[in-house]
Structure 1
Amino acid sequence: MKTIGVVDTTFARFNMGSAVVDEIKQHVSARIKRVTVPGIKDLPVASKKLIEEEDCDLVIALGMPGSKDIDKVCAHEASTGLIQAQLMTNRHIIEVFVHENEAGSDKELAYLMEKRSREHALNAVKLLFKPEELVKQAGTGQRQGFEDVGSIGM
């Protein structure tokens, strides 16, 4: 049985991890290992530990960078760490960040955080269980959390 790791943060203003777990359970039977850390810079090591110590086949790393310049720098550092952890473990870590300033209101932000979390949970399911589904979507302009933009291909 495949194991999916889910790591989220207390800094986020929406429970992104619960949305991901719920979405995965609706589509496949998999073990789910969930960990919560304080902030986005804690995501890389938590993700790596889920892979190495809990034998996760894939990890979904969820975070909400704030709207200040320092938050954008921290998000970049966390993203770089997640990429490094992927390369060190040879496993996918799906980064799901929703920046606080991506939405105009708290209601829009909550909607975006839930939608993006759930859509990336489906991407994780496809990566592990139905990779041919991703091949079918190649070049189709998919946007997690927003409307898809469509293909410009011929």
Structure 2
Amino acid sequence: MHKVGIADTTFSRINMGKIAIDELKKNASLQIERYTVPGVKDLPVACKKLVEEKGCNIVMALGMPGSQEIDKICAHEASQGIIQAQLMTNTHIIEVFVHEDEAKDEKELAWLMERRTREHAQNVVKLLFHQEQLQREAGTGQRQGFADAGAIRQ
């Protein structure tokens, strides 16, 4: 049985880990291992530990960077660390960040955080069980959260 790691943060303004676990359980029979850390810069090591110490086959890194310039820098650093953790462990780590300033108000922010988390959880299931579905979706402008961009007509 596949094991999915969920790395989430206390800085996030909604419980992204709970949402991801709910969506994963709706779509597949999986073991789930959760590791919660304070903020996005703590996610790379959490993800690496989930792979190396807990035996996860794939990990979701869930976080909500703030809207200040320093938050954007921290999110970039966290992303670099997540990429490095992927390369060090040869394991997919699906980064699910929702920046606080992506939405016009708190209601839209909560909606976006839930939708992006659920759609990426569905991508995890596709990566594990339905690779052919991802291949069919290649080049179709899929987006997680807001509306898909769509393919460019050639």
TM-score, with structure 1 as normaliser: 0.99
Q: Would you say the 8 A contact 1:139–1:153 is kept in 2?
A: no
Shift in Å at residue 153 of structure 1?
Answer: 4.0
Question: May I ask how many residue pairs the two structures share in their alignment?
Answer: 154
What is the aligned partner in structure 2 of residue 88 from structure 1?
A: 88
**AA paired with 1:146?**
F
**AA paired with 2:89?**
T
Deviations 1:93-151 (A, max 9, x none): 00000000000100000000000000000000000111111000000000100101111
User: Unaligned 5+ residue runs, structure 2?
Assistant: none
Q: Would you say the 8 A contact 1:43–1:82 is kept in 2?
A: yes
Q: Does 1:135 align with 2:135?
A: yes
What is the aligned partner in structure 2 of residue 4 from structure 1?
A: 4
**AA paired with 2:7?**
V
Alignment partners' CA distance in 2, 1:149 and 1:40: 27
TM-score, with structure 2 as normaliser: 0.99
Q: Would you say the 8 A contact 1:141–1:151 is kept in 2?
A: yes
Deviations 1:12-68 (A, max 9, x none): 001111110000000100000011100000000000000000100000000000000
User: Unaligned 5+ residue runs, structure 1?
Assistant: none
Identity of aligned residues (%): 66
Shift in Å at residue 81 of structure 1?
Answer: 0.1
Alignment partners' CA distance in 1, 2:77 and 2:58: 21
Equivalent residues in 2 for 1:47-126, closer than 5 Å: 47-126=47-126
